[in-house]
Amino acid sequence: MTSANPGASRLIATVYALRTALAESTDLLRFTLGGTIDEETAADAEADGVPREFLDFCRVLDGASCGPSVQLFGLEEAEEHQFYCGPVVDSPLELSPEKLFCVGMIHETPVFLDRAGGGLLGIPDEHREWVDAERFERLAPGLEAFFLERLATPEYARLASLDDESVEYDDWLKLLRRAGLAN
């Protein structure tokens, strides 16, 4: 990822603000933000079929635990969760490891990077069991956009289904506020 890409610069600045706020917040969980992956690790993973978009994100942020209901995987954890991409008997979804790469979970439902289109895909909210969904819902044009527009903003509270009572106890929302990313 180069700094010539304005999105990359924004991602780097956002992650820096989050890391700074986390370092100053002794009351928040340390494992909230993952580290970064190096070029050698990224090259090896790409040779093994991991999508470049995911690896570019991991070069800046190798996973984020945004509270109990929203998580973006780091490289190692993502590799362990690719079983979600495989076909499921009687599921109407077109699941395929060649088409999808699992990058996280929202409310115990996998989130996928579309290998062909690059978009981030999830399951519409109305489905209780994700394998019963009839279609995917596009959550964002890509992983970086999803993080910057949905997780590193006040939009996170809606995505995580936080009610008025739980908002004050959510560590990710506290971190966003301390980093100046949410009010």
pLDDT digits (tens, 9 = 90+) for 37-80: 999 999 999 999 999 999 999 999 999 999 888 999 999 999 99
Q: What is the mean pLDDT of the chain?
A: 91
Asked whether residue 145 is domain-assigned, the answer is: yes
* pLDDT score at 6: 55
- Read off the pTM: 0.91
Asked whether residue 142 is domain-assigned, the answer is: yes
Identify the CATH number of the domain in which residue 11 sits.
3.40.1580.10
Asked whether residue 92 is domain-assigned, the answer is: yes
Number of compact structural domains in the chain: 1
**Does pLDDT of 3 surpass 50?**
no
Asked whether residue 88 is domain-assigned, the answer is: yes
Asked whether residue 103 is domain-assigned, the answer is: yes
**Does pLDDT of 132 surpass 70?**
yes
Q: Tell me the per-residue pLDDT of 84-95, one tens digit each, with 9 for 90 and over.
A: 999 999 999 999
Asked whether residue 174 is domain-assigned, the answer is: yes
Asked whether residue 1 is domain-assigned, the answer is: no
Asked whether residue 183 is domain-assigned, the answer is: no
Q: Confidence band (pLDDT; 50, 70, 90) for 1?
A: very low
Q: Which long-range contacts (CB under 8 A, 24 or more apart) does 84-93 make?
A: 84/110, 84/112, 85/112, 88/131, 90/131, 91/131, 91/132, 92/132, 92/133, 92/134, 92/135, 93/131, 93/133, 93/134, 93/135, 93/136
Residue 109 is part of which domain span? 6-178
